[in-house]
Amino acid sequence: MNFAPLPSVDVAEVPSDGLVLDVRESDEWAAGHVEGALHVPMSDFVARFGEVTEAVAEGRRAYVMCRVGGRSAQVTQYLVQQGIDAVNVDGGMQAWDGAGRPMVTDNGTPAFVL
């Protein structure tokens, strides 16, 4: 079976106004996330797929992230199969943090990658 190569980008290629889709679980999200990201945990993904299609409605590209890139790769593959412009962010939140890209928390505590 042949799969198309998974589209992926480096964290440096994610535009500051890009649509980041964070598929980590809620405890991971609470520890630290990209400001303005759409949080749809992989475990809820199928049930909340409508939120994702709404977010990409204007043909926006989804930059899919998890902690290191495994879960987001699966979600990216699913989105691409649905005809959505989605790319996996290589290295996930660990790479994002390592590159010094900004992270926030909902309660104002210092953000970190769980």
Q: Which residues are catalytic?
A: 66
Integer Cα distance of 114 and 112 in angstroms: 6
Contacts of 57 (CB under 8 A, 6+ apart): none
Q: Pairing state of beta strands 62-65 and 86-89? A: parallel
Q: Which of 18, 50, 46, 47 is nearest to 34 (CA)?
A: 18
Are 89 and 14 contacting, i.e. CB atoms less than 8 angstroms apart?
A: yes
How many other C-beta atoms are found inside a 10 Å radius of the C-beta of residue 105?
A: 15
